[in-house]
Structure 1
């Protein structure tokens, strides 16, 4: 039995809430050795691509079935871009304008601007690569991906029942990029450095939509063995995900401990996380129930606000200078 659309949204909102907790934890000076902030940002990217791909793909399937006119397709694309843009850009612009109005000492304190001349309002608002100060680097990448996503979905739909053929080389590329591409100087990184992360989320969404349609069309029912098999795969994915996030577990158990990183990096978690989304969407378990907790869901609803604004709290001198982390929180 597939979970209801409402349950799906609750579950994913909770994951988004957990991701923003990871980011705040990193910036508050706790658990610096495991890059919680990077893990949270990657979760944002995967979630964004997964949800948007799923929504746009389902809408595109309906338009193809009608069949819709070019005008209706145009309105659909315009609606898609406008909703995505105006959902996140106004707060981004408000924060940028507020920083511009504040004295330089506040720009330096809260968004780590090095010199007064380094902050240019117009270039910040237009996503110039040299003016993505501190937390402002993620939104330009997400908006850039918005333009690629519709093309990806339409190509997949054009391939019809052979959509899975293209996913074999794509997954090989995503895994290769994840294992061998170092993402560290994230302030000035182009979309290409994170494209594999977004693509992992989009491919997982396609897999879910195709599986959901197949289950509905065939009347397939999950038996006990099917559920056990899914739970085994899910357990392995969770263990692998936690091993990468906490830089231990499987690696230590297998006698292959990871060397301490010499600089801040973004670990490769996108494929594992996105496949976990598919499993929980198809056959929900206690895992999704945990993320449906109302506190995580609320944080998920306001996650972008928390992401951009939390530095105005934790970098305030009385809090930042507190030596005891637990007193700080």
Structure 2
């Protein structure tokens, strides 16, 4: 096996910067595309910010990459410890956002409906999705459309260790020696085929697992000390291209039914966009050496400063945009005030309240619970291919 690479602080700082930049991009995307500003801001200015979905796919890829880096050296990792760390990283800010949404809904003079309560329960169990996809269980609570991706993210996290253990069993008992992404790709492809026949939200999440695992597979390459060459990435390319091709099946049917006028932001074109962008992202990773000599230190520092509150920014911005401020009559001033409020709420959730939750998570995860015997060696076995 190749010698493990010495982690570069600059590369990890770049990840933080991308995370901060992606969060700001999503905020601007919704501000220009889902508020009154879309009728005021010139189309030329709004055009570069039309790709909020692609920014979310960037989050997915980075999430898979980072979760592998955070866990692959922990030979005694237990599901209990892993679960509490993930739960207390995701849920405090998420639940805080739901509470903020209720407060803003009340300030806007609206009452909660029975449908809102159903959505609330579904959101608490991370079953929300948005758009016109078949098989949706519930919608994001009180129209906070940004929350759709948290449902996927949460279940990706919950599937991560079981998949690692499954891969370890394949290597120990079936002598599987291929890359980890092939079994995951097969699971996702089967889930997508089942989704097309029996559409439901959970099958769609599993079908997206391979996209998230592409980040994991890149982290495996990184931790082995290999370059992101086509040879190293070809297995990831193949799986992502197979899923991209699979999304053409419902896309072709929709085209035959509605012609070229169907919604490019809706199902099934949105699935095609997601996977196509993942392939393009992989190509950017492969050819990143082209831009490695550019001096990006200044923008990296600026966006890295926002990375620490990026999750809060992502969650809380949409409810604040929905807040009515009738005492402000200038639209630009109104959204300037809202942006300041978004920053303050994100800072409060992430920098003031989250450390307390982290301490609680550490206490609850202190008591270890045994895991299957395959688990301690799973990461070393997976990372060999």
TM norm structure 1: 0.62
Equivalent of residue 302 in structure 1, options 301, 309, 318: 309
Aligned length: 266
Equivalent of residue 206 in structure 2, options 192, 199, 202: 192
- The residue matched to 2:265 in structure 1 has which SS? coil
| 2:13–2:304 CA contact under 8 A, matched in 1 | yes
| 1:104–1:116 CA contact under 8 A, matched in 2 | no
Specify the alignment match of 1:56 in structure 2: 71
Specify the alignment match of 1:17 in structure 2: 20
Unaligned runs of 5+ in 1: 64-71, 216-221, 238-258
Q: CA deviation at 1:42?
A: 0.9
Q: Does 1:36 align with 2:51?
A: yes
Specify the alignment match of 1:100 in structure 2: 102
Cα pair distance change 1:271/1:169, threshold 3 Å:
farther
Specify the alignment match of 1:83 in structure 2: 85
Q: Distance in 2 between matches of 1:274 and 1:125?
A: 33
Unaligned runs of 5+ in 2: 34-45, 128-136, 238-259, 340-385
Cα pair distance change 1:186/1:286, threshold 3 Å:
farther
Cα pair distance change 1:126/1:305, threshold 3 Å:
same
TM norm structure 2: 0.54
RMSD (Å) for aligned C-alpha atoms: 4.7
Q: CA deviation at 1:6?
A: 2.6
Q: Distance in 2 between matches of 1:200 and 1:89?
A: 25
Equivalent of residue 116 in structure 1, options 100, 113, 117: 113
Specify the alignment match of 1:285 in structure 2: 292
Q: Per-residue displacement from partner, 1:99-147 (whole Å, max 9, x unpaired)?
A: 3345457497xxxx9x722222444323343153322222222111112
Higher relative contact order (CA 8 A, sep 6+): 1
Q: Distance in 1 between matches of 2:15 and 2:210?
A: 20
Q: Distance in 1 between matches of 2:298 and 2:187?
A: 30
Cα pair distance change 1:105/1:187, threshold 3 Å:
farther
Q: Distance in 2 between matches of 1:189 and 1:270?
A: 20
Q: CA deviation at 1:52?
A: 0.5
